[in-house]
Amino acid sequence: MAIKDQSRPPRSRQIGNVLLLLTGVFLIVNLVFPNLFAPPVPRVPYSLFIHQVQDQEVDRVSVGQNEIRYQLKDNGEESGQVFATTPIFDLELPKRLEENGIEFAATPPPQNRWFTSLLGWVIPPLIFVAIWQFFINRSGGPQGALSIGKSKAKVYVEGEAERITFADVAGVEEAKTELVEIVDFLKSPKRFTQIGARIPKGVLLVGPPGTGKTLMAKAVAGEAGVPFFSISGSEFVELFVGVGSARVRDLFEQAKKQAPCIVFIDELDAIGKSRASSGFYGGNDEREQTLNQLLTEMDGFAAGDETVIVLAATNRPESLDPALLRPGRFDRQVLVDRPDLSGREAILNIHSQKVKLDATVDLRAIAARTPGFAGADLANLVNEAALLAARNQRQTVMQEDFAEAIERLVAGLEKKSRVMNEKEKTIVAYHEVGHALVGALMPGSGKVEKISIIPRGMAALGYTLQLPTEDRFLMDQDELQGQIATLLGGRSAEELIFGNITTGAANDLQRATDLAERMVMAYGMSKVLGPLAYQQGQQQMFLGNEANPRRMVSEQTAEAIDQEVKAIVEKAHQQALDILSQNRDLLEAIASKLLATEVIEGQNLHELLSQVKPAEQPADKVHASV
Ligand code: ADP
Ligand code: MG
Ligand code: ZN
């Protein structure tokens, strides 16, 4: 499949440039001409000229507006010399010339005068046009001024080299099934209309970023064998009010001409934002007009004779205007979710076709270690692994390249250049082992796979890598509490060993507090506050995607929320401290080992962590006390 771009530099611009060049040349020639070719004539004062006239020395005179030229009489052998003088306002002159019998005439108008005046008329508009063109080009559209309202849609043409089909998409089987149906509509609409069924007009692909929504839409185009107009929502939103709606109109005009076809609007939220939420003072006029035009167009075409199906993609369905979602518009919503284990394996399979894999690579094992990765992350993972293999002078990509690549994507690049002093290193070592020990005991945060005190990523001085053992879709209260305790494990170890605390735990505390707040405000996990949602409206599609502001609550409730959040975090803190003081010897043993080797992982680590003893008085079950 190839993209045929409808916009290309207009011919008129090239012609304009040529004209501009020509006029420039003319202008220069014109300026240079008189000076270049006129013979040098000696200038004399007017009074001398008059004397010569009166003395009968002058033979002929030619009177111009700015200059008088005259020739003296022959003095026998050579013809008379020519002089020039500047005329003054002298009404007597003709009479004087007449009296002295001198032949005189006015100079003929300059031969190229018509030409000069033509230039005078032509050049200014040309300059104006050139400037205009310049600004139009700079303002982005290579389309010229008159086509500013034209849709910028790209049309995919079938049968070209890199056609994308459903075989290129994996791990989103339900979405695929739904879209196969759409392709059927387009291929044989009769089958459906004969029986009286109404073909859906709009299909909205909804899902987190990178799950393959854009890819799916392209696959539909590749499979359906009909024209496919693709445009991104942000391309409708322009500086000028009214351009967006003109583009929508134009897009649908083109589409209807080519029906049956597909119109794909990527990032629909750029125009489809809820009108209610888009601001206090009337919101964004331009976006609103564009949205209205889109709604009008979608209502406008009858789904019978012109099969135009509008596909759209968004990762923020909750922000879309409800009017877009009602029947007759985007009445079908297809969820494109993050892939599960076998989905990830299938996606890895697709992308690793492009690299040279070692025979020993186990894609299933890699898929198992990457829960939560979307398709784009997996594509990126394969590429990172291939880059690592190449850097290590390998011919094929090995399992260990994938392991390192996963770590890179999860924790960031190693920063060996960041040198810590011995004291800092010791603190970081205890901090990380603290995380690991608590994480090994508490539920909910996966298996500890690696502890390292080599700095990585933006901020981490050391890190503890925990990888989930399976895909999780629900978390219970104990597990969340366990996660918070694990997050506090680092700081608790510092407190226990050094009796002092450092700045190193800021990120841990942030995440722990966020989690506790969500437990209270979103998941209704507090006895005191009950099963109420204290977050501001709008259903959350994806677990924990944004921080929501609090709903309007009474002062007492706000205080109670704060107290509950604090109680949860403090309880987790106590749990972490209990576990660590119970296992103090192990903590010191592992920490000194870590200081020596900088990294502990794999079997080695599992053996060490299997010695962790639970805290003596096991902490109360969370729901009993909170
Ligand atoms: P979205 O539009 O949902 O944000 P994209 O479709 O742009 O995501 O995905 C980006 C890239 O990630 C794709 O070009 C593809 O290489 C890869 N990818 C994402 N999802 C999948 C999938 N389900 N199967 C195969 N590749 C995928
Ligand atoms: Mg996309
Ligand atoms: Zn930490």
Which residues are catalytic, by number?
A: 432
| pLDDT band (50, 70, 90) for residue 490 | very high
Q: Average pLDDT, stretch 137-142? A: 54
Q: Whose CA is nearest to atom 9 of ligand 1?
A: 212
pLDDT digits (tens, 9 = 90+) for 254-299: 888 887 888 888 888 877 776 655 444 445 677 777 788 888 887 7
> Under a CB-based contact definition with an 8 Å cutoff, are residues 609 and 464 in contact?
no
Q: Do 145 and 159 share a structural domain?
A: no
Q: What is the pLDDT of residue 154?
A: 67
| pLDDT band (50, 70, 90) for residue 595 | very high
**617 strand-pairing partners:** none
Q: How far apart are alpha carbons 322 and 616 in whole angstroms?
A: 55
| pLDDT band (50, 70, 90) for residue 1 | very low
**Secondary structure element (H or E) that encloses residue 464, with its range:** strand 463-467
Q: What is the pLDDT of residue 542?
A: 40
Q: Do 165 and 143 share a structural domain?
A: no
| pLDDT band (50, 70, 90) for residue 139 | low
Q: Do 392 and 305 share a structural domain?
A: no
Structure tokens at 23: 């006029």
Q: Do 297 and 164 share a structural domain?
A: yes
**2 strand-pairing partners:** 157
C-alpha 377 – ligand 1 centre gap (Å) = 9
Q: Do the domain assignments include residue 195?
A: yes
Q: Whose CA is nearest to atom 18 of ligand 1?
A: 375
Burial of 438 (0-12, 13-18, 19+ CB in 10 A): buried
Q: What is the pLDDT of residue 305?
A: 59
Structure tokens at 529: 């506050």
Q: What is the pLDDT of residue 270?
A: 79
The response to whether residue 612 sits with its C-beta less than 6 Å from ligand 1 reads: no
| pLDDT band (50, 70, 90) for residue 189 | confident
The response to whether residue 205 sits with its C-beta less than 6 Å from ligand 1 reads: no
> Under a CB-based contact definition with an 8 Å cutoff, are residues 265 and 311 in contact?
yes
The response to whether residue 144 sits with its C-beta less than 6 Å from ligand 1 reads: no
Compute the CA torsion angle 87, 90, 91, 93 (nearest 10 deg).
-70
CA 197 vs CA 185, 190, 465: distances in Å: 11, 10, 54
Structure tokens at 174: 């339900």
Q: Do 233 and 118 share a structural domain?
A: no
Q: Do the domain assignments include residue 38?
A: no
- Residue 191 pLDDT > 60: yes
* CA-based nearest residue to 433, from 410, 467, 464: 464
- Residue 145 pLDDT > 50: no
Q: Do the domain assignments include residue 416?
A: no
- Residue 470 pLDDT > 80: no
C-alpha 209 – ligand 3 centre gap (Å) = 28
Sheet with 447-452, edge to edge strand ranges: 463-467, 447-452, 599-601
Q: What is the pLDDT of residue 369?
A: 83
Q: What is the pLDDT of residue 275?
A: 62
The response to whether residue 426 sits with its C-beta less than 6 Å from ligand 1 reads: no
Q: What is the CATH number of the domain that holds 97?
A: 3.30.720.210
**452 strand-pairing partners:** 463, 599
Q: Average pLDDT, stretch 384-411? A: 90
Q: What is the pLDDT of residue 77?
A: 65
Q: What is the CATH number of the domain that holds 406?
A: 1.10.8.60
Q: Do the domain assignments include residue 446?
A: yes
Q: What is the CATH number of the domain that holds 219?
A: 3.40.50.300
DSSP output for 538-596: S--SSTT-SPPPBP---HHHHHHHHHHHHHHHHHHHHHHHHHHHHTHHHHHHHHHHHHH
Q: Do 483 and 595 share a structural domain?
A: yes
Q: Do the domain assignments include residue 361?
A: yes
Q: Do 526 and 488 share a structural domain?
A: yes
Q: What is the pLDDT of residue 399?
A: 92
pTM: 0.65
Those residues whose beta carbon sits under 5 angstroms from the ion ligand 3 are 490, 508
**Angle value at C-alpha 124, between 118 and 130, nearest 5 degrees:** 125
Structure tokens at 299: 């209502």
The total of structural domains in the chain comes to: 5
Burial of 264 (0-12, 13-18, 19+ CB in 10 A): buried
Q: Average pLDDT, stretch 80-101? A: 83
Q: What is the pLDDT of residue 483?
A: 92
Q: Do 447 and 301 share a structural domain?
A: no
Q: Do 454 and 562 share a structural domain?
A: yes
Last residue of a domain, one of 335, 355, 380: 335
Q: Do 532 and 463 share a structural domain?
A: yes
Q: Do 320 and 221 share a structural domain?
A: yes
Last residue of a domain, one of 335, 368, 397: 335
Q: Whose CA is nearest to atom 25 of ligand 1?
A: 169
- Residue 217 pLDDT > 60: yes
Q: Do the domain assignments include residue 429?
A: yes
Greatest mean pLDDT range, 230-244, 272-286, 396-410: 396-410
The response to whether residue 211 sits with its C-beta less than 6 Å from ligand 1 reads: yes
DSSP output for 51-108: HHHHTT-EEEEEE-SS-EEEEEPP-SSSPPPEEEE---S-TTHHHHHHHTT-EEEEPP
| Ligand with an atom nearest the CA of residue 340 | 1
The response to whether residue 213 sits with its C-beta less than 6 Å from ligand 1 reads: yes
Q: Do 399 and 485 share a structural domain?
A: no
* CA-based nearest residue to 370, from 405, 395, 416: 405
- Residue 587 pLDDT > 70: yes
Q: Average pLDDT, stretch 353-371? A: 89
Q: Do the domain assignments include residue 415?
A: no
Last residue of a domain, one of 410, 438, 462: 410
For the CA of 169, the nearest atom of ligand 1: 24
Give the domain range for residue 529: 422-625
> Under a CB-based contact definition with an 8 Å cutoff, are residues 279 and 326 in contact?
no
Structure tokens at 87: 């005329």
**Range with the lowest mean pLDDT among 40-54, 215-229, 544-558?**
544-558
Q: What is the pLDDT of residue 580?
A: 95
Q: What is the pLDDT of residue 350?
A: 94
Q: Do the domain assignments include residue 82?
A: yes
| Ligand with an atom nearest the CA of residue 432 | 3
| Ligand with an atom nearest the CA of residue 335 | 1
Q: How far apart are alpha carbons 450 and 188 in whole angstroms?
A: 56
| pLDDT band (50, 70, 90) for residue 125 | confident
